[in-house]
Amino acid sequence: MDKLLITGGRCLSGSLRISGAKNSALPILAATLLIDEPAIIGNIPHLHDVTTMIELLGCLGAQVVVDEKMRVEVTAAHLGQLKAPYELVKTMRASFVVLGPLLARFGAAEVSLPGGCAIGARPVDQHLKGLEALGAEIEVVDGYVRAKVDGRLRGADIAFDLVTVGGTENILMAACLAEGTTRISNAAREPEIVDLANFLSAMGARISGQGTSVIEVEGVQRLHGCEYSVMPDRVETGTYLIAAAATGGRVKLQQTDASTLEAVLEKLRAAGADVRVDGAVIELDMHGRRPKAVDIETAPYPGFPTDMQAQYLAMNAVAIGESRVTETIFENRFMHVQEINRLGADIDIQSASTAIVRGVDSLKAAPVMATDLRASFSLVVAALVAEGTTLIDRIYHIDRGYETIEEKLQLLGADVQRVR
């Protein structure tokens, strides 16, 4: 099993190109199941989760071709089965979003209940509630969701009980081929939802309101093939900005989009970072200074992203002052705290949703273990500022969401290597 060896104490400095967004690429790949013509998708990140989704599409019978530039062509003209097996879905809960496209196009689907990171229950009841409102008959048998519809799905007014990104994606895709108009209230507003809606529109879907809490979809008989490029990864962007700030460094990130990161950039400026935006380029400079402690509270977009809570907490661990980190999205997302404390941090978990972080002057290397995708990079941030060499185990979590991490960190001057 791969591990990372990181010798800390260096200020990150340099330039990086940001990869395509994982959280866009996965539902967009699933959406290719809605059509029988080829769809060509560019700027796909080379990640383990993407490989899993491609494997799932192939398992269903789609033809998938990937070129050397990670442009993916999917043709789902004739599927051999409509069952997404547990062996694949258990490793990545995002694969559950094949349910909506399969049901809408073929009138039936059988998808295993999802797995993925152990950061809370994250039930799929809102997905199922929405599909039932569209006319689907659903039952859960032996860990599988079995869904069917007689004829086409029918447009409906759907109000989610809570904001759900995956639920919004599943219903949005299913509604594209439904008869009539679907109105989704309390919809997720994330940029990745907008990206998915734009891809569906490029295939001929009629969608309005993406990026707001109410999305309307006018169903069509069929969709067609298209070419599309995935948006930049805002989580990767924010992660490298936070890592650079924690080390007192300076970075220039290219091919990104600052408009999707306003909450994060605001907190980095509050921490003392000099942040400049020029088109698709973001530059951050700490001028060699330690960051200042800043309170954060996660919230659905456009609030501070839960996927950057762990990284920012790690930066607060070496910041000047005391901060409060509040997690409102997932109930089990402080598993990284114990590992960061092993490096000498002073962090108290006061409740399931609140951690108090007292910044320390320095951290010291120790062996640590990654617990989930984003928490794993919080250990990287901590290791980059720690004295000595830190060994991070179970980094397969990192490979699920960050492309060529050791190469990108080396480009910024970090002393990092992958070992077995």
Of the candidates 159, 158, 169, 194, the residue with the CA atom closest to the CA atom of residue 94:
169
Are 340 and 201 in contact, with CB atoms under 8 Å apart?
no
Catalytic residues: 117
Rounded to whole angstroms, how far apart are CA atoms 380 and 161? 36
> 10 Å Cβ neighbour count for 208?
12
Are 206 and 217 in contact, with CB atoms under 8 Å apart?
yes
> 10 Å Cβ neighbour count for 218?
15
Sign of CA dihedral 176, 177, 180, 184: negative
Rounded to whole angstroms, how far apart are CA atoms 324 and 348? 10
DSSP character for 154?
A: B
Amino acid at 180: G
Rounded to whole angstroms, how far apart are CA atoms 196 and 295? 32
> 10 Å Cβ neighbour count for 346?
13
